[in-house]
Structure 1
Amino acid sequence: MNIGLLKKCYDDFKLNKGKYDKMYQYYVGDSDVIRKYSAMEYQESHKMNFNYLKKFLKEEVAYSVGTPLSYVSKTNDNNIVQEIEYYMYHWDKNHDAQLMKNMLLYGTVYELYYIGKDGQFNSKVITPRNGYVYSDDFGNILYFMHIYNLKFDNNTYIDIYTENQILHFNSDFKEIKKADTHIFGQVPVSIGILSEELEKDTLFNDIIDIQNGFSIISSDGVNEITNTRAAILKGKGFQLDAEQIEKLKKYRFANLPNSKDADLNWLLKNLNAEYQKLMLETLEDKMYQLSFHINNQERMQSNTSSLALRSRLINLEQKTKLNNKALMNVIVSRIKFLFMYLKILKNKDYNYRSIAIKFNSVIPSDDLMMSQIISQLGDKISLRTALSQLSFIENSDAEIKQLKSEQEELLQGQSLLDGVVNG
C-alpha cells in the first residue's frame, strides 16, 4: 500500500471538490444569484431563482429511466433474467434515477458494490463530491476512495477499496480500525462517464451563465417594482423643513404652496419593459437550444399525434440515447459483479456478456406505425425483437412467456370441450 500515492489522490480530490460542490449548490437552488441578493442589506431584496438546471436534468432522467430497465437474455435463458431481477429486487426503486441524475450533473458518477449485513448484494451511488478513483493508463481501477462524515461528528473518514480489501483511515491517513475483506477480487466499483470532457460537457457548464442572467434580470425587475415605496420624492417651487417631512411620511399627504410652480412627484427610473421582456425570452430560448430540450409551454400546432410530438423531441431523444449509452457501462459492470456474487453464493456460472439491457424511454412513440412495420416484416423478424420495439411492453421475454402460457391454457380448455362434445 503506497500511502504517499493515496495522499496525493486525496489532495487531488480536495482540489477538485469545490467545483462539484458548486454544481450541487446550483442543483438545490443555492445559486450565486441567490447569494448576491441575500447579501444586499441596504434594502429589501427579492430573489428570483429560476432553476432550469434541475428542470432539464429531471426531464432527462425521466426520459431515460422513468420506466424501469429491462434485461434480456441473448441466449434465451430466462433463468438468468429472473436471477438478476430477484437479487436486485430489494434495491431502492429510485437507484437508477439517482445514478443517472448524478452522472448528468457532474459528468462522472461511481457505483460501489458491497455485501450487506444480511448477505445480500447491494450498491451505493457515490458522486465526485465524496469519491475518487485512481486508475492506470488502460482504465483499470487500482484504488477507490470513499470520503465521508458521520452525523454529529466533525471528523473526515476515508475508506479505500483495493482488489481484495477495504482499508479505513482518517484524513491524516492513520488507520482507525482493522481492514475488512471483500469477495470480488477487484476494486468493487464502476464508473459512469458522460463524455471524455467530464464536467466540461455537462448541462451545468452549458447553461449556468445564461440561467444566472435570467435570474438576475428577473430579480432586478421584481425589486424595482417592490421597492418603489422607497423611491425619492422630488419637490419643485417650495422647500420642506424636517418637521414637514416627518408629517409627510406619517400621513402620506403634503400641503403645497399656493403657487403655479409648486410641484411634488416621485423620482423614478424609466424602465424599458419591452427590452426586459425580449432579453428574458432570448435567454430562455438559448437555454432550451443549448440543452436540446423543448419548451412545452409554447403553443403547438393542431397536429398533436405521437409522431408530431416525437419529431419535436428528436434532438432530445438523440441526447438521451447518448446518456443511456454512458449509463449502460455502469449497468454492465453491475451485472458482472452480481454474477461474481452468484458464483460464490450458488456456484452458478453466468456470463454477463449474454445479457442485453433495454432502456424503456418514455419519449412518445408511434406504436401504430411500428406495429404496421412489424406486420409487413412478417416472419423476417423474431417475435422477441418485434415486441421489444413497442413502448408499452417492458419485458419481451416475460410477454412471450405469458403468451405461451395463455395459449397452453386455451389448448387445454379446447381439448376438454372437444372431449365433452365427442362424449
Structure 2
Amino acid sequence: MALEVDIPGLDPDFLDRAGITYNDEFTYPADVEITAADLLNLIDYHSSHLRPKYAKERDYYRGKHDIFKEPGKPKYKPDNRVIFNFPRKAVTTFNGYFIGNPVKIDHANQTVDDFIAEWINVNDFEDVSAEISKESSMYGHAYFLVYQSKDGKAKIAPMSPLNAFLIYDDTEAHDVRYGVIYHRNYQKELEVTLYDSNYRRDLVMRSSSANYFDQDRVIANPYKMVPIIEVAENTERMGLFEDITTLIDQLDKAVSQKANDIDYFADAMLLIKNASIDSDKIADMKDNRLLNIKGQSAGDSDARYLDRPDADTSQENLINRLSNGIYEISNVTNLNDESFSGNPSGVSLRLKYQAMQNMARDKSLKFRSALRKVFQCVFAVSYADVPTDAWRELQFKFTQDVPTNLLEDGQAVNYLYGKISNKTLFKQLPFIEDPDAEMEQIKQEQREMQDATAEVVKKALSQAQTDQQKAGVADDNGPARTTVD
C-alpha cells in the first residue's frame, strides 16, 4: 500500500548547477537539492537533444531509414527505396547470443534461492531482462523500473531512455541521486515523476503553476534508493549500430540504385534510325517482338536500345565492401559467412565469435551490477524470510552459446582423461553447465549400476542354490543303490 506524505515542493530557483558528461549522463551537486527550474532545464535538454537521437535509433531498428525521407525523383525515372535492415539483425543476433540463455541467479541460502526462483517466475523476469538487453543495444542504455503492485509486492518493467533519465551526483562515487520519467498528457501538460532515495513526487506543469510545477502527490519510497536502474551497453553508452549508420545509409543507397538500374534497363528506350514506322504497327511490333526495316535506306538504318554504361561490377564491389565493413565495425558475427559452411574447426569458430564474445563479456559486467541493484530493491520489500542484505551474496552466471566442434572436444577429453581431474575435464565441455552436479550424477549412476549388478548376481546365486537343493532332493527321493561285492 502506497504511503502518501506531505512535504514541501521543489525550490523554484534557477541555480544552473546541472551538468552533462561526455557520454550524456546528467550530474548534480551531491550537497544541493535539485530545484524545479534546474529539473525543467534537464528535461528540456533531454527532450530536444537526446530524445531525437533515440527516436532515430528506434526508427532505424524498425526499418524507417533516412532513404525514405529523400526527395522523390521525376516520374519517368525509377525510384526504388530498398533498405538493408542491419540494425535489427545486429540487435537480434547479438542479444540472442548474449541472453538467449537466461541469466542464472543463485544464493547459498536455500530459502533465499527458493524466493528468487518464485519471484523470477511470477514476474516474467527472463522476458523483461531480454527486452531491456535489446533496448540497451538499440539506444546504448535502458532501465529496469522497480515498482509496487497493489498488494505491496515488488514488480519490474522495462523502460527505454526515450522519456526517462537518471541524475548522478558529481562525486567520484557517481551515485544516482534522482530518477526522472516525463511525458505529455492529453491536455499537453508536462507530467513528471521524480524519484529520490526517500520519495516519489508526481509533478504537473500547468499554465496556472506558480513555481514551474504543481506537486500533486508525494509517496514514500520503500526501497530507500532510486528504483530506476540503468543497464548500459558499454561505458560510452553507444548502441550497436550508432557508429555504422552512415555505412548503412550508403548500403541502402547502393542497393536502391542497383534496383533502379535494373528497372532502367527493363524500360530502356528503342532508337530507330533512318526508318519510318507507322504508328498503327507499333503495337504489332511489341506483340510479335519483330522489327522489319526495308526499302532503299534499309542499309543505313539502325535499331537499338539506349542504355547507359554498365556499372554492375563496381556496384557489387561497393555493396560487398559496405556489408563486410558493417559486420567488421559492429563486431557482430556474420552467420551467413561462407566460412561457416561445412564443418569448421572449434578454433575457427571461436575466432569468428571472439569480437562478439568480448562485447558480451563487457556487457555482462554492467548487467550483473544492474541486477544486483534490482534485487536490492526487491529484498527491501520482500516481507519474507529473506534478509534485506541478501543481494550482496547473489551469484550471477551468463552463458553464451558458441558453436563447438563436438568431435574435437571428444578427442580432447579422451586425450586428457586420467591426466587431469574429472572436474577440470568436465569444465572443458560446453554442454556441461555444472561439473559438480555431473560428477555426482555419474556416481549416482555407478551406484545404481552396482546395485543392479549385485541384484542380478544375488538372484543368480539364489537360483543356483535353489537348483542345487532341488537336485539334492531328487537324489534323496530316487531308487536306492545296490552295492555288489
TM-score with structure 2 setting the length: 0.72
| Shift, 1:376, TM fit | 4.4
Q: Secondary structure at the match of 1:203?
A: coil
Which runs of 5 or more structure 1 residues have no equivalent in the other structure? none
Matched, 1:58 2:97: no
CA separation in 2, counterparts of 1:395 and 1:134?
A: 41
Trace 1:351-370 onto structure 2 (pairs within 5 A): 351-365=390-404, 368=410, 369=412
Change in Cα spacing, 1:238 to 1:169, as seen in structure 2 (3 Å) is farther
Which of 85, 110, 120 does residue 117 from structure 2 map onto?
Answer: 85
Identity of aligned residues (%): 19
Matched, 1:216 2:253: yes
CA separation in 1, counterparts of 2:143 and 2:308?
A: 52
Matched, 1:49 2:83: yes
Tell me the equivalent position of 1:188.
227
- What CA deviation, in whole Å up to 9, does each residue of 1:77-116 have, x standing for no partner? 3333222121121223322211111112211211111122
| Shift, 1:153, TM fit | 7.7
Tell me the equivalent position of 2:365.
325
Change in Cα spacing, 1:4 to 1:245, as seen in structure 2 (3 Å) is farther
| Shift, 1:234, TM fit | 3.3
Change in Cα spacing, 1:372 to 1:20, as seen in structure 2 (3 Å) is farther
Q: Which has the larger radius of gyration?
A: 2
| Shift, 1:65, TM fit | 0.6
Trace 1:166-315 onto structure 2 (pairs within 5 A): 166-170=200-204, 172=206, 174-175=213-214, 177-199=216-238, 202-237=239-274, 248=282, 252=286, 258=295, 259=297, 260-300=299-339, 303-315=343-355
Given residue 47 of structure 1, which amino acid in structure 2 is its aligned partner?
R
| Shift, 1:154, TM fit | 6.1
CA separation in 1, counterparts of 2:435 and 2:400?
A: 15
CA separation in 1, counterparts of 2:320 and 2:217?
A: 59
Tell me the equivalent position of 1:13.
46
CA separation in 1, counterparts of 2:218 and 2:439?
A: 47
Q: Secondary structure at the match of 1:109?
A: strand
TM-score with structure 1 setting the length: 0.81
- What CA deviation, in whole Å up to 9, does each residue of 1:43-77 have, x standing for no partner? 5532211111211211110111101111233xx33
CA separation in 2, counterparts of 1:374 and 1:351?
A: 40
Q: Secondary structure at the match of 1:128?
A: coil
Trace 1:131-170 onto structure 2 (pairs within 5 A): 131-137=164-170, 138-148=173-183, 157-170=191-204
| Shift, 1:252, TM fit | 3.8
CA separation in 2, counterparts of 1:18 and 1:247?
A: 59
CA separation in 1, counterparts of 2:443 and 2:220?
A: 46
| Shift, 1:22, TM fit | 0.5
User: Does the CA-based 8 Å contact 1:105-1:204 persist in structure 2?
Assistant: yes
User: Does the CA-based 8 Å contact 2:180-2:193 persist in structure 1?
Assistant: yes
- What CA deviation, in whole Å up to 9, does each residue of 1:345-403 have, x standing for no partner? 44634432211211011123566457976974428xxx6x9877653355678x47985
- What CA deviation, in whole Å up to 9, does each residue of 1:287-324 have, x standing for no partner? 12112233332323754244442232222212221122
Q: Secondary structure at the match of 1:103?
A: helix
CA separation in 1, counterparts of 2:158 and 2:396?
A: 19
CA separation in 1, counterparts of 2:279 and 2:85?
A: 44
Matched, 1:378 2:415: no
Which runs of 5 or more structure 2 residues have no equivalent in the other structure? 1-9, 11-34, 207-211, 463-485
| Shift, 1:182, TM fit | 3.0
| Shift, 1:338, TM fit | 1.9
Q: How many residue pairs end up in the alignment? A: 406
Tell me the equivalent position of 2:70.
36
Tell me the equivalent position of 2:162.
129
Change in Cα spacing, 1:297 to 1:351, as seen in structure 2 (3 Å) is same
Q: Secondary structure at the match of 2:122?
A: coil
Q: Secondary structure at the match of 1:157?
A: strand
- What CA deviation, in whole Å up to 9, does each residue of 1:125-147 have, x standing for no partner? 21221211111113222221112
Change in Cα spacing, 1:229 to 1:284, as seen in structure 2 (3 Å) is closer
Given residue 110 of structure 2, which amino acid in structure 1 is its aligned partner?
N
| Shift, 1:328, TM fit | 1.7
RMSD, aligned α-carbons: 3.8
CA separation in 2, counterparts of 1:284 and 1:296?
A: 13
Q: Secondary structure at the match of 2:225?
A: coil
Q: Secondary structure at the match of 1:94?
A: helix
Given residue 270 of structure 1, which amino acid in structure 2 is its aligned partner?
P
| Shift, 1:31, TM fit | 0.5
